[in-house]
């Protein structure tokens, strides 16, 4: 998984942890809320049920009080003896004896009043055994009560009534015989009253389980109450008592447990929250690290390609000073790795990184894009040349690592972020400029130019043309004679590739490197070998030299393919010489060695081409078992420039001949050159003087002429 993906994965994990924790906390809070609601509802319901019971009990208490006095009144008023006595002249005495006297300490009533049939004359009125004035004690309400009682003979009239001292219950009924005998005259009325005092309230309270029952003028806040109304329905007081609130009592009992459970839940939730937060924090750190890793190079700590592109994406482009990107490729870094090992190579990368970061104040970012490839972003007004010179100056002095002196160079490709180009396009442009800088030689700086794109386009077109030409067999072989330096006789022919297009001939100096770069060289080389051999079969006795690209020689299949081609065409391998340039000896000496050894076993010879224009030494000639050396044309033409070229040539040739390696001189254009080289010891000559490259047809003609 890439670090970027890891970052995304960790971010997903973090959000799922946050979601889970939040869900957990919300669910727990919901449950707690529900539980609290249930407990509160149960408490309130229990209280309400008991309050309703208490209200019913209070009403029952009043009803019991009323019915008791009512029954007592009926017992005394509906009484034959009383009826008779009250109608007699001794009514007052009789009433005192039976009722007035009793009122002193009788539990069922506190006073007894007998009012005459006229409904206003007091026959007898005693309160607590003493005479009293009912009109003053009860007020006008008393006479309304008497009127009503006199009118409704059958049942007693019972009402609460306000007295001078408080509230009393008064029951009144007409005094009448037990059994009616005809129409009764207007009747006297007996009234008993009982004060609603603390004794009565105490009895009612005990009988009906109404603790704390008492009378009050108005309902007290926080207490239950039942209103007491008089005859007219007016409220004259309230029975009040405290609620028992059994729900609250139970709640108080279980409260410690509920509190403990709540505390545990709060602690648990806090724990869950803290764990969630710390896990989310840990994951966020991981994500940050993964993002950092995705955008940075681990060795140098610089941005990597991904990080650079992201930075370029975020950079604000202004017309005044657009950001400029410089790609820097180290020259000779591979050699450092090969010579000193990777640890030193790594140290060098770090040193270069630090040097690049600090090289100019306008450098806003440095990235490492690959092994020895860096990128630098400049934002500011400094000229491109100034930045390039600053970078190149870093490599002017050798680097010192563990006492070693290490020299590396740098090539630079620069591109400005003109207009609104995408970061990737900017990178491509700088890369193209860098490619050109490296092509031009080390230590160069090149700025991107649209011409580079056009050139690449032309190369791409040429590539496709070349592919078609190879496929169509349009690449032809011409042959240049190789003659004996002593006799001048043609001893061999060198095959050279020719490509004729509609717009003109294209030089092998152009299309051979192109074929090497675009992977067409094996096909082209194979085609040349086959065509040349097919022609050479017409020229028995002559050797054939064919040029082979270093890229071909590095192909492990090459030797086998050449041998099977020779067998297929029935061509004597001893007639064939393969010409190779020194490049392959440098780049891949082991594979070159294997191919050369294999082919030499079947009798094929090898010539080292273009000797003297590069670095190949005489030692390499022996080491790889070359059968021949070909002196480069540049050394031959130098003979005409009057320097000490002749001495160098002579020394080189005598060294080769001392090693018994015969030498061919190529590019001989005049007799003087031919004479010097012959004298210097070359046994074979080649050049326009002897013969230009010719078609196979022309060669055949020329050979026939010579034979004739
Ligand atoms: P080379 O193998 O060194 O071939 C000799 C080159 O020198 C040829 O150029 C030839 O035409 C030229 N030459 C010979 N004598 C003279 C002279 O007196 N004066 C001047 N000015 N030039 C002379 P050409 O044909 O353009 O080939 C250039 C190079 O291309 C060859 O150099 C060889 O390296 C490569 N090449 C040509 N054909 C092939 C091929 O089939 N395969 C491969 N791999 N390389 C080829
Ligand atoms: Mg050659
Ligand atoms: Mg050559």
Residue 314: inside a domain:
yes
Asked if residue 706 has pLDDT above 70, the reply is: yes
Interval between CA 638 and ligand 3 midpoint (Å): 15
Element (H, E) at 13: helix 3-77
For residue 323, being part of any structural domain is answered with yes
Q: Is the CB of 551 under 6 A from ligand 1?
A: no
Q: Residue 614: is its pLDDT beyond 90?
A: no
Query: Which pLDDT score is estimated for 11?
Result: 66
Ligand 1 atom at minimum distance from 693 CA: 11
Q: How far is the CA of 666 from the centre of ligand 2 (A)?
A: 9
Answer whether residue 631 shows pLDDT above 80. Answer: yes
Asked whether residue 532 is assigned to any structural domain, the reply reads: yes
User: What percentage of the chain carries pLDDT values higher than 70?
Assistant: 97
Residue 693 CB less than 6 A away from ligand 1: yes
Q: Which residue has the tokens 């991107």?
A: 448
Which residue is associated with the tokens 């563990």? 402
Residue 407 lies in a domain: yes
pLDDT over 90 at 326, yes or no = yes
**Percentage of the chain with pLDDT > 90?**
61
Same domain, 485 and 441: no
Instruction: State whether 519 and 591 are in the same domain.
Output: yes
Residue to mutate (ligand 1; options 469, 505, 512, 525; most atoms within 8 A of CB)? 512
Shared domain for 550 and 431, answered yes or no, is: no
Is 395 a residue whose pLDDT tops 90?
yes
Compute, in angstroms, the gap from residue 691 CA to the centroid of ligand 3: 15
* 393 in any annotated domain: yes
How much is the pLDDT for 315? 84
Distance CA 123, CA 362 (A): 127
Q: Which ligand is nearest to the CA of 530?
A: 1
Same domain, 565 and 692: yes
pLDDT digit string, tens, across residues 546-605: 999 988 998 999 999 999 999 999 999 999 999 998 876 777 788 888 999 999 999 999
| 527 close to 473: Cβ distance less than 8 angstroms | yes
Using CA positions, which residue lies closest to atom 22 of ligand 1?
Answer: 667
The ligand 1 atom at the shortest distance from the C-alpha of residue 579 is 2
Residue 171 parent element (H or E): strand 167-174
Residues 664, 670, 673, 675: what is their CA dihedral angle, to the nearest 10 degrees? Answer: 90
pTM of the model: 0.60
CA distances from residue 211 to 51, 63, 67, 214 in whole angstroms, order as listed: 12, 18, 22, 9
Cβ of 633 less than 6 Å from ligand 1:
yes
Query: Residue 629: is its pLDDT beyond 70?
Result: yes
Write the residue with the smallest CA distance to atom 6 of ligand 1: 667
Looking at the structure of the chain, the number of domains it has is: 3
130/216 same-domain check? yes
Q: For 95-112, write each residue's pLDDT tens digit.
A: 999 999 999 999 999 999
* Tokens found for residue 333: 């870094």
Give the number of the atom of ligand 1 that is nearest the alpha carbon of residue 668. Answer: 18
Q: How many whole angstroms separate alpha carbon 113 and alpha carbon 128? A: 11
Instruction: Give the whole-angstrom CA distance, residue 329 versus residue 369.
Output: 10
Rounded Cα distance, 405 and 344, in Å: 11
Please give the distance, rounded to the nearest whole angstrom, from the Cα atom of residue 614 to the centre of ligand 3: 12
pLDDT of residue 7: 57
Torsion of CA 551, 553, 557, 558, to 10 degrees: 110
pLDDT band at 445 (very low <50, low <70, confident <90, very high): very high
Mean pLDDT (the chain, rounded): 90
What is the Cα–Cα distance from 693 to 301, expressed in whole angstroms? 58
Residue 138 token pair: 């009860």
Q: Do both 588 and 634 map to the same domain?
A: yes
CATH number of 235's domain? 3.30.450
Q: Which two tokens stand for residue 290?
A: 């993964």
Ligand 1 closest atom vs CA 630: 3
Quick check: CB of 666 below 6 Å from ligand 1?
yes
pLDDT at 9: 66
Question: Measured between alpha carbons, how far is 529 from 703 in angstroms, rounded to an integer?
Answer: 21
Residues in the chain: 708
Phi, psi of 96 (to 5 degrees): -65, -45
Q: Which range has highest mean pLDDT (149-153, 400-404, 620-624)?
A: 400-404
Is residue 526 located within the same domain as residue 420? Answer: no
Q: Is 516 in the pocket of ligand 1 (CB under 6 A)?
A: no
Please tell me the distance from the alpha carbon of residue 273 to that of residue 267, in angstroms, as a whole number: 10
Q: Which of 547, 640, 669, 672 to mutate to test the pocket of ligand 1 (most atoms within 8 A of CB)?
A: 547
251 has pLDDT over 90: no
Asked whether residue 438 falls in the same domain as residue 497, the answer is: no
**Contact assessment for residue 160 and residue 168, using Cβ atoms and an 8 Å cutoff:** yes
Same domain, 227 and 361: no
Compute the distance from residue 610 Cα to the ligand 3 centre, in Å: 4
- CB of 691 closer than 6 angstroms to any ligand 1 atom: no
pLDDT band at 535 (very low <50, low <70, confident <90, very high): very high
Closest ligand relative to 668 C-alpha: 1
Q: Which of 224, 242, 260 delimits the end of a domain?
A: 242
Classify residue 215: in a domain, yes or no. yes
Answer yes or no: is pLDDT of 3 > 50. Answer: no
Domain boundary among 189, 211, 242: 242
User: Would the CB of 483 count as within 6 Å of ligand 1?
Assistant: no
Helix (H, G, I), strand (E, B) or coil at 643: coil
Residues 526 and 562 in one domain: yes
Give the ligand 1 atom nearest the CA of 525: 42
What angle (nearest 5°) sits at the alpha carbon of residue 641, between those of residues 635 and 645? 40
pLDDT number for residue 318: 66
Say how many Å lie between the first and final Cα of the chain, rounded: 78
Instruction: Check pLDDT > 50 for residue 151.
Output: yes
**What is the number of the ligand 1 atom nearest to the C-alpha of 686?**
15
Counting from 1 in the atom list of ligand 1, the atom nearest the Cα of 669 is 18
Domain boundaries, position 698: 472-707
Give the other-Cβ count within 10 Å of 647's Cβ. 10
Residue 2 is predicted with a pLDDT of 43
Question: Which CATH number do you get for residue 382?
Answer: 3.30.70.270
**What protein residues have CB closer than 5 angstroms to ion ligand 3?**
609-610, 666
Instruction: Give the Å distance between the CA of 579 and the centre of ligand 3.
Output: 8
Torsion of CA 207, 213, 216, 219, to 10 degrees: -110
pLDDT band at 10 (very low <50, low <70, confident <90, very high): low
Lowest mean pLDDT among 241-245, 522-526, 545-549: 241-245
- Ligand 1 in reach of 582 Cβ (< 6 A): no
For residue 465, being part of any structural domain is answered with no
Q: Which residues pair with 219 in a beta bridge?
A: none
Return all residues near 504 (Cβ < 8 A) that are at least 6 apart.
none
Query: Is 323 a pocket residue for ligand 1 (Cβ < 6 Å)?
Result: no
Which one of 448, 482, 516 terminates a domain?
Answer: 448
Nearest CA to ligand 1 atom 33: 547
In this predicted structure, what is the pLDDT of residue 1? 38
Q: Say how many Å lie between the CA of residue 651 and the centre of ligand 3.
A: 19
Considering the domain architecture, whether residues 571 and 495 belong to the same structural domain is answered as yes
Residue 481 in contact with ligand 1 by CB distance below 6 A: no
Q: What dihedral do alpha carbons 92, 97, 103, 104 form, nearest 10°?
A: 120
Please report the atom of ligand 1 found closest to the CA of residue 508: 30
Measured CA distances, 138 to 132, 168, 189 (Å): 11, 9, 16
Q: Is the model's pLDDT at 667 over the cut of 90?
A: yes
Question: Each residue of 472-486: pLDDT tens digit?
Answer: 989 999 999 999 999
CATH number of 685's domain: 3.20.20.450
Same domain, 77 and 150: yes
Q: Is 667 in the pocket of ligand 1 (CB under 6 A)?
A: yes
505 occurs within a structural domain? yes
Q: What is the mean pLDDT of residues 41-52?
A: 89
Pocket test of ligand 1: the residue of 613, 633, 690 to mutate, having most ligand atoms within 8 Å of its CB, is 633
């Amino acid at each position: 998984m890439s670090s970027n993906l890891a970052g995304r994965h960790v971010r997903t994990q973090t959000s799922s942890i946050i979601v889970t924790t939040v869900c957990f906390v919300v669910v727990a809070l919901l449950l707690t809320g529900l539980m609290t609601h249930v407990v509160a509802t149960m408490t309130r319901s229990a209280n309400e049920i008991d309050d309703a019971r208490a209200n019913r009990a209070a009403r029952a208490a009043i009803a019991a009080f009323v019915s008791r006095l009512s029954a007592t009144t009926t017992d005394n008023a509906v009484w034959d003896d009383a009826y008779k006595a009250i109608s007699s002249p001794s009514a007052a005495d009789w009433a005192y004896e039976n009722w007035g006297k009793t009122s002193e300490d009788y539990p069922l009533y506190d006073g007894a009043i007998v009012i005459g049939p006229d409904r206003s004359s007091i026959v007898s009125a005693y309160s607590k055994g003493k005479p009293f004035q009912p009109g003053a004690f009860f007020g006008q309400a008393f006479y309304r009560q008497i009127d009503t009682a006199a009118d409704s003979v059958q049942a007693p009239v019972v009402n609460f009534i306000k007295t001078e001292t408080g509230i009393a219950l008064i029951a009144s009924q007409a005094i009448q015989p037990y059994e009616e005998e005809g129409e009764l005259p207007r009747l006297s009325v007996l009234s008993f009253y009982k004060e609603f005092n603390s004794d009565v309230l105490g009895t009612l309270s005990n009988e009906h389980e109404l603790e704390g029952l008492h009378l009050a003028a108005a309902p007290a806040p926080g207490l239950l109450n039942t209103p007491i109304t008089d005859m007219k329905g007016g409220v004259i007081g309230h029975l009040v008592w405290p609620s028992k609130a059994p729900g609250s009592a139970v709640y108080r009992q279980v409260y410690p447990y509920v509190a403990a459970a709540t505390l545990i839940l709060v602690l648990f939730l806090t724990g869950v929250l803290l764990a969630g937060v710390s896990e989310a924090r840990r994951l966020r750190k991981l994500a940050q690290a993964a993002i950092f890793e995705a955008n940075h190079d681990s060795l140098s700590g610089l941005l990597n390609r991904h990080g650079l592109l992201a930075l370029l994406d975020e950079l604000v482009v202004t017309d005044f000073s657009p950001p400029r990107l410089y790609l820097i490729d180290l020259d000779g870094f591979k050699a450092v790795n090969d010579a000193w090992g990777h640890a030193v190579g790594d140290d060098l990368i770090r040193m270069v990184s630090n040097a690049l970061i600090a090289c100019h104040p306008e450098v806003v970012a440095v990235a490492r894009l690959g092994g020895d490839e860096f990128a630098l972003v400049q934002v500011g007004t400094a000229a491109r040349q100034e930045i390039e010179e600053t970078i190149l100056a870093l490599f002017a002095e050798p680097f010192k690592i563990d006492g070693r002196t290490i020299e590396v160079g740098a090539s630079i490709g620069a591109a400005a972020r003109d207009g609104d180009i995408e970061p990737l396009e900017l990178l491509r442009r700088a890369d193209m400029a860098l490619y050109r800088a490296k092509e031009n030689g080390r230590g160069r700086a090149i700025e991107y130019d649209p011409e580079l794109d056009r050139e690449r386009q032309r190369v791409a077109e040429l590539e496709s043309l070349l592919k078609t030409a190879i496929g169509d067999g349009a690449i032809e072989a011409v042959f240049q004679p190789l003659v004996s330096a002593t006799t001048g006789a043609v001893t061999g022919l060198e095959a050279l590739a020719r490509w004729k297009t509609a717009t003109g001939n294209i030089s092998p100096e152009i299309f051979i490197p192109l074929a090497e770069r675009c992977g067409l060289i094996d096909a082209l080389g194979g085609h040349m070998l086959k065509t040349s051999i097919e022609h050479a079969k017409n020229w028995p006795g002559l050797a054939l030299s064919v040029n082979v690209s270093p890229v071909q020689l590095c192909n492990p299949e090459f030797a086998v393919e050449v041998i099977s081609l020779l067998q297929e065409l029935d061509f004597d391998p001893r007639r064939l010489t393969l010409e190779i340039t020194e490049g392959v000896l440098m780049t891949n000496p082991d594979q070159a060695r294997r191919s050369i050894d294999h082919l030499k076993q079947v009798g094929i010879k090898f010539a080292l081409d273009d000797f003297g224009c590069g670095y190949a030494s005489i030692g390499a000639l022996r080491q790889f078992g070359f059968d021949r050396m070909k002196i480069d044309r540049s050394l031959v033409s130098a003979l005409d420039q009057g320097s000490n070229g002749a001495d160098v040539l002579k020394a080189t040739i005598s060294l080769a001949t001392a090693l018994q390696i015969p030498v061919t001189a190529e590019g001989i254009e005049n007799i003087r050159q031919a004479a010097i080289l012959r004298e210097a010891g070359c046994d074979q000559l080649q050049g326009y003087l002897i013969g230009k490259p010719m078609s196979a047809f022309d060669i055949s003609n020329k050979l026939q002429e010579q034979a004739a």
